[in-house]
Structure 1
Amino acid sequence: MTTGHSSTMGPGPTESSSLKLFGDLDDLHNWTELIHFFNHTFSECEVKLNENVKRVVLFVLYLAIFVVGLVENLLVIYINWRSLGRGRLLHLYVFNMAVADLGIILSLPVWMLEVTLDYTWLWGSFFCRFTHYFYFANMYSSIFFLTCLSIDRYVTLTSSSPFWQRHQHCVRKGVCAAIWVLSALIPLPEIAHIRLVEASDPMCLFLAPFETYSTWALAVTLSTIVLGFLLPFPLMVIFNGLTVYQLYRVGRPEARRHCLLVCAYVAVFVVCWVPYHVTLLLLTLHGDHIYLHCYLVHILYFFYDVIDCLSMLHCVANPILYNFLSPSFRGRLMGAVVHYIPKEKARKGRGSSSSSSTKHSIVITKEEAQTN
């Protein structure tokens, strides 16, 4: 497992980085026992895997996710910010989810450079902790907002409570504030054990006391899996499924489209997070709790970085699924684009394309009306 941002949730760094590190850090832990553990784990077999190729692939993946995710989430934040000003507070969860995804995206250059430098940390002790904290807080926020959005859609569709009709906007604001506070608190126990190790090459690592290391690693991993997947995923499936059922029951024409979107929501969440959590759990349990074949351990350690990187594809998928596939959002996006077209160009083209311009304006107006 790497020393990258999500490696702190697992049992430790890569075997090569760890062994390179131990010779310079005898005063931190009982390194003799730790070295014995890694020697026992990795000396039974040898798997030839090309670290240089992996670094190049990771760099390209990080860069692609960063560029695409940055553009998408900035557009979503801007368009939904304009909508919030017009009283469309149903978009509040989408707006906050985009802010959280943007926070994850903004941390990618650090992990990208860290991979390129063979996991050498060059940004000091404060940023060692802060960057990890910033990533984890935004990761939990994004997942929680996604879950609350699924619940809110069903409640809004089915509730006839006068209290909800009067106070739904205040409830949404309170829930969003609570999510940010909760997401800020959850990573603190883990961040307390992240340290900058000043070896020949500085490294940012999860270093709990050696005597309780396995317990801490397992506790952090289980909390990550429960809070990041086992709780939100069933809630998403249940409430999205209930929403689709309700739409079919009342004969709404958008029921089939929403059913397909729900399938896409579930598929993306599973593809992004199941491989990550399964790999994380296996690597954490290996050694003290279960014994995996050494070939499997090598492969899991090697591909953990790639799986971790691919989990961040949700920052690219969320804007598409929850915004760009919506006719309402596309209408508001086109309205914003038309608003910023230079007036001189608009006047020049008005004579030759007046009929098409009029038709386009009508489409935008209809889309705006549907969202009010």
Structure 2
Amino acid sequence: MSADVPTNHSEHFINGSIWFSSCTIEFDMNTRRIALFLLYLLIFMVGLMENLLVVWVNWRRRHAANGVLFCIINLSLSDLTIVAGLPFFILEMALDRVWLWGSFLCKVTNLIYLINFYSNSFFLAFMTLERYLSLVRPSSPALFPVLGHRRWLLCSGLWLLSLFLALLENVHMELLEWDEPGCFMVPQFSFSEWYVSVTFLSMIFQFAVPATIIISCNLLIARAVRTAPDVEGRREVWLVHVYSLVFMMCWLPYHLVTLLMVIEEISMPFLFDCNTMEFLYFSFSVVQCLSLFHCVANPILYNFLSKSFRNNVINTVVSCIPKESLQEIGGQVGSGAQPTFKGDPKNQRRLSNTSTSHSDVGS
């Protein structure tokens, strides 16, 4: 899912000669591989069920959805695509980086991961910005309006930008045949320049810019909700801070470790000793795995915590039940009572207008 990094930093080339350093620290690679296998498997199973449910429920009302929900549909599609491709990387890890599925899937699976690596942050940032603008400027046009083709054009633009950034890195993805076949990113020339360039691009576009938008807008949303006289509850005040915290917890460790590796790559003489680099290389796969927990956290934060979403789940399930079964259930409830899911159509439409707990803030 990323550029392969060396696992032994005991020797370097300096001015054409080899500089040796001894490592006094050792890590248990087998334990790490087992732990990462279990974590990836957990992310795959939970993330797949959560995002399938979110996409299924929200896609049925996409045409009447507000801008926030439209972003959430794309966010869920991005998360779903990532977790759907995890079995390839889980088996690759279990086989100690042996790739058995050929050169085509080597390139395609990594390209899909990279596209969603960027698009996930883009849609999350736009969703937060949309929510902020709809809260403080309700009369202004929405970024993703319900009517017209503007939201589809914006959506396509974000996906195309993600594709462009992904191709810059994926173009060097190759299947290398050594003792065992492996799927690696290996530029033929100027590895250091390429590695530093794509790393800083990902830091800027995938992390720095979205994090600035998400944190700033969430702080402003929390302040607006706290001072709003017509808001009864205050749960949303701390909840918007949780949105920012989860994003930072998922992505800050990954980009911090990557930044330290870039600093070591461009520093002459080498800034870090062998033990530090061994720790960075060991922790890189760990923080990369932890970053994917957003595929599990996003459906919970932006869907399952919302009462309106839970009602929409019930309504969607009920709409798939044959009418004969509904009449039978209604007869069992009693002639004077109606099942809770048979509400007034106007009330059901009102519930569907609010998409998630994120969009309910200050509404």
- TM-score between both structures, scaled by the size of structure 1: 0.84
**3-state DSSP of counterpart to 2:57:** helix
Q: Kindly state the Cα deviation for residue 228 of structure 1 after the two structures are TM-superposed.
A: 1.2
Q: What SS does the corresponding residue of 1:85 show, helix, strand or coil?
A: coil
Distance 2:32 2:67 in 1: 43
Name the SS for the 1:358 alignment partner. Answer: coil
Alignment counterpart, residue 148 of structure 1, candidates 106, 121, 126 = 126
Moved more, 78-87 or 55-64: 78-87
1:70-89 aligned at under 5 Å gives the runs: 70-89=48-67
Equivalent residues in 2 for 1:312-331, closer than 5 Å? 312-331=292-311
Q: Equivalents in 2 of 1:166, 1:107: separation in Å? A: 29
Match in the other structure for 2:248: 270
Q: In structure 1, what is the equivalent of residue 279 of structure 2?
A: 299
Please tell me whether the aligned partners of residues 315 and 341 of structure 2 are also in contact (alpha carbons under 8 angstroms). Answer: no
Equivalent in the alignment of 1:336: 316
Corresponding residue for 1:52? 30
CA 1:166/1:324 → structure 2, altered by over 3 Å: closer, same or farther?
closer
Q: Distance in 2 between matches of 1:269 and 1:162?
A: 27
Distance 1:67 1:251 in 2: 43
Aligned to 2:175: 196
Q: Which amino acid aligns with 2:274?
A: C
For residues 4-41 of structure 1, give each alpha carbon's deviation from its aligned partner in whole angstroms, at most 9, with x where no partner exists.
Answer: x12x1xxx43326x99xxxxxxxxxxx9959x99x847
Query: Which moved further from structure 2: 166-175 or 333-342?
Result: 166-175
The CA distance in 2 between the partners of 1:284 and 1:76, in whole Å, is 37
Aligned to 2:7: 15
Distance 1:292 1:32 in 2: 12
Displacement of 1:48 after TM fit? 2.6
Q: Which amino acid in 2 is paired with 1:55?
A: R
Q: Is contact 1:331–1:368 with CA below 8 Å preserved after alignment?
A: no
User: 1:361 is matched with which residue?
Assistant: 342
Is contact 2:118-2:162 (8 Å) kept? yes
AA matched with 2:103: S
TM-score normalised by L of structure 2: 0.86
Q: Structure 1 residues 229 and 240 mapped into 2: Cα distance closer, same or farther (>3 Å)? A: same
Alignment of 1:1-372 (within 5 A): 5-6=1-2, 8=3, 12-15=4-7, 40=19, 43-159=21-137, 161=139, 169-170=147-148, 171-210=150-189, 212-253=190-231, 256-289=234-267, 290-341=270-321, 346-354=326-334, 357-362=338-343, 366=347, 368-372=349-353
Distance 1:217 1:336, change over 3 A: same
Task: Give the deviation of 1:274 after TM superposition.
Answer: 0.7
- Higher-RCO chain (CA-CA 8 Å, sequence separation at least 6): 1
* Equivalent pair of 2:226/2:237 in contact (CA under 8 Å): no
- With over 3 angstroms needed to count, the CA separation of the structure-2 counterparts of 1:40 and 1:364, relative to structure 1, is farther
SS at 1:205 equivalent: strand
Q: How much is the aligned-residue C-alpha RMSD, in angstroms?
A: 2.9
Quote the residue 1:26 is aligned against. none
2:201 aligned partner, one-letter code: S
Pick closer, same or farther for the CA change 1:89–1:278 going to 2, 3 Å. Answer: closer
State whether residues 203 and 255 of structure 2, in contact with CA within 8 Å, keep that contact through their aligned partners in structure 1.
Answer: yes
The alignment partner of 2:60 has SS state of helix
Contact 1:46 1:295 in 2 (8 A): yes
Give the direction of change, closer, same or farther, for the CA distance of 1:167–1:319 in structure 2 (3 Å limit).
closer
Deviation at 1:287, TM superposition (A): 4.5
CA separation of 1:356 and 1:15: change in aligned 2, threshold 3 A: farther
Change in Cα spacing, 1:167 to 1:345, as seen in structure 2 (3 Å) is closer
Question: Alignment partner of 2:271: what SS?
Answer: coil
Give the paired residue count: 348
> Aligned to 1:13, what secondary structure does the other structure show?
coil
Q: Which amino acid aligns with 1:361?
A: K
Pick closer, same or farther for the CA change 1:314–1:343 going to 2, 3 Å. same
- Per the alignment, do residues 180 and 253 of structure 1 end up closer, same or farther by CA in structure 2, a change over 3 Å counting? same
SS in structure 2 of the partner of residue 204 of structure 1: strand
Please report how far the alpha carbon of residue 188 of structure 1 lies from its aligned counterpart in structure 2 after TM superposition. 1.6
Deviates more, 1:165-174 or 1:233-242: 165-174
